[in-house]
Structure 1
Amino acid sequence: MTYVVTDACVKCKYTDCVDVCPVDCFREGPNFLVIDPDECIDCTLCVAECPVEAIYAEDDVPANMTQYIAANAELAKQWPIIVQKKEPLPEHEEWASISGKFDQIER
């Protein structure tokens, strides 16, 4: 089982999770992070670090967000590794509580 970044990360991109990842499995896109399922070791450290609770175990991804499982796998192959915490996106506070942002992912 791997972990999956979901809806709450879109247009927020908090990177607290990146700092605790022991295997550098996070990938960075313009307005979203993903987890490379081939690199994730299921350590769970990132889950507690996410301030918007965007990270789920694959088996626990809510039914309305299952498209994020495939998106994480696909985008992890395209986006570069991120290994250090950065500031969240400028409008992160406004977007943090908005749901249904899958179509807002900049690829």
Structure 2
Amino acid sequence: MTHVVTEACINCKYTDCVDVCPVDCFLEGPNFLTIDPDECIDCAVCIPECPVNAIYAEEDLPKDQLHMTAINAELVKSPNYKTLTKRKEPLPDHEAWADKTGKLPELKR
């Protein structure tokens, strides 16, 4: 996997990253985005676009987010996650969740 979306995205789902992706590698679930590793070209333009710093190159993942590599790989295969090609509004209560940590129990698969 080239890039990984971390827990910071949960319950925010900002899609600024989707707008700049040249290959449409983002998938949208109920309260999270993930990156399809087979589609991602490792261009990294999405990283600075995320308002909550939720996207990392796999080799730069913080130690407390290493588990998200497997979760991203799992969600790419989920029928609940569909390719997203255009920016959308974030979730209604995104501001309340933006600075929270430990959001993994909130992830909807």
- Structures share a fold, TM > 0.5? yes
TM-score, normalization: structure 1?
0.96
CA shift at 1:58, angstroms? 0.2
Task: Please name the residue that 1:92 is paired with.
Answer: 94
Give structure 2 stretches of 5+ with no counterpart.
none
Q: 1:61 maps to what in 2?
A: 61
Letter in 1 for 2:65: M
Q: Which runs of 4+ in 1 moved over 3 A?
A: none
TM-score with structure 2 setting the length: 0.95
Q: Which runs of 5+ in 1 are unaligned?
A: none
- 1:100 CA displacement: 0.9
CA distance in 1, matches of 2:48, 2:60: 15
Deviations 1:31-64 (A, max 9, x none): 0000011111100010011011100000111111
Give RMSD over aligned pairs: 0.9
Partner residue in 1 for 2:35: 35
Secondary structure of 1:4 counterpart: strand
Match of 1:73 in 2: 73
